[in-house]
């Protein structure tokens, strides 16, 4: 909303963004105080995780059952440091050092825009705490692929710790067929050229226009990319920013790859994100390529095999030591183990 003395409020069409202006004179005056609150505050705070989700549903940020179930299954407060948990159910972004969580309304829009389905492959660029990747894993199920790339090694370790706690202690883990995320440290602009393409890609940092094509090429045909894409904004007034915002503003954008060289683009929401960090060359002058393995997925024939008697685990259930992120669920309790079929396909 835009408010100035003597003027009516004008909706600028930006959900999750509040703009307030105060002027000492008419609208043509050069002296304005602009306060921009971005990345949250769109819905009321909740007393707990369920109340927060109720508020997001009421505000139409959460619109589908699958997304609602994923949000309710993972408590947002579990991804906060203990001393900051009192703010976990507010619709606000949180940052401490390198650790960062976007506002719930932003994650809701992202999850809805990704149009997630069981069995898809997902790449999270700037995977952070692993909160979003874990929610996605609940939807992808046992035959999905769930990869995350994070710039900061300390955040990667934080995400792995939170994932381990979720698997060991959460009741939700036993209620879902979970596609366990796999996190690696590196710059997402340095993914190896021989990396496989993905069905769904999300970037959690502001993407400059010069990197738009790079991001698009990570997608399979038919895939969906959601990212904050740089947008040049021209204000008719001289503005002074008193809230810490970045020089570039971004539009949360959904891009669907409809063909080898064809795309459909939809703008979702005006947001403020920290921009992508440009790659640094090593001492030898070479880039540090991020390697993401091509994860095996069962063929249609092997998926149809029945489960064994007296157990609810899948017949392909992997043995200990297999890597996460390839649609393989690590179980908390020891049950009868079934060998993974030899036949597989690659994504």
Residue owning tokens 């570039």: 248
Q: How far apart are CA 37 and CA 43, in angstroms?
A: 13
Q: Which of 128, 133, 47, 54 is nearest to 90 (CA)?
A: 47
Q: Which of 189, 196, 59, 187 is nearest to 122 (CA)?
A: 196
Q: Which of 102, 133, 134, 272 is catalytic?
A: 102
DSSP annotation of 98 reads: T
Angle between helices 49-58 and 104-114 (to 10 degrees): 60
> Is 102 one of the annotated active-site residues of the chain?
yes
Q: How far apart are CA 343 and CA 333, in angstroms?
A: 27
Pairing of strands 145-150, 219-231: unpaired
Tokens of 70: 């994923």
Tokens of 343: 């036949």
- Are 99 and 155 in contact by the 8 Å Cβ rule? The answer is yes
Q: How far apart are CA 27 and CA 4, in angstroms?
A: 8
DSSP annotation of 191 reads: B
Which residues make Cβ contacts (< 8 Å) with residue 85, sequence separation at least 6?
A: 77
Catalytic machinery residues: 102
């Amino acid at each position: 909303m835009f408010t100035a003395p003597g003027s009516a409020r004008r909706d600028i069409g930006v959900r999750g963004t509040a703009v307030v202006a105060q002027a000492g004179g008419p609208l043509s005056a050069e002296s304005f105080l602009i306060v921009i609150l971005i990345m949250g505050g769109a819905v009321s705070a909740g007393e707990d995780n369920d109340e927060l989700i109720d508020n997001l549903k009421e505000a139409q940020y959460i619109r589908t059952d699958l997304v609602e179930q994923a949000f309710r299954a993972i408590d947002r407060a579990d991804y906060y440091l203990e001393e900051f948990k009192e703010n976990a159910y507010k619709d606000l972004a949180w940052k401490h050092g390198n650790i960062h969580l976007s506002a719930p309304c932003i994650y809701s829009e992202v999850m809805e825009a990704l149009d997630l389905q069981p069995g898809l492959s997902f790449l999270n660029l700037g995977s952070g705490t692993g909160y979003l990747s874990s929610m996605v894993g609940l939807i992808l199920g046992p035959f999905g692929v769930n990869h995350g790339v994070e710039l900061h090694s300390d955040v990667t370790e934080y995400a792995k710790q939170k994932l381990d706690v979720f698997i060991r202690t959460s009741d939700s883990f036993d209620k879902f067929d979970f596609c366990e995320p796999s996190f690696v440290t590196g710059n997402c602009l340095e993914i190896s050229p021989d990396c496989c393409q993905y069905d769904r890609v999300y970037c959690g940092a502001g993407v400059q226009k010069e990197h738009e094509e790079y991001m698009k090429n990570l997608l399979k045909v038919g895939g969906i990319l959601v990212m904050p894409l740089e947008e040049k904004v021209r204000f008719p007034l001289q503005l002074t920013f008193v809230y810490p915002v970045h020089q570039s503003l971004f539009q949360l954008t959904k891009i669907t790859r409809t063909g080898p060289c064809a795309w459909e683009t939809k703008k979702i929401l005006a947001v403020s994100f920290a921009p992508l960090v440009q790659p640094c060359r090593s001492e030898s002058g070479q880039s540090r390529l991020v390697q993401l393995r091509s994860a095996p997925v069962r063929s249609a024939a092997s998926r149809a095999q029945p489960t064994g008697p007296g157990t609810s685990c899948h017949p392909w259930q992997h043995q200990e030591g297999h890597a996460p992120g390839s649609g393989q669920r690590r179980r908390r309790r020891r049950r009868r183990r079934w060998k993974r079929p030899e036949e597989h396909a690659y994504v």
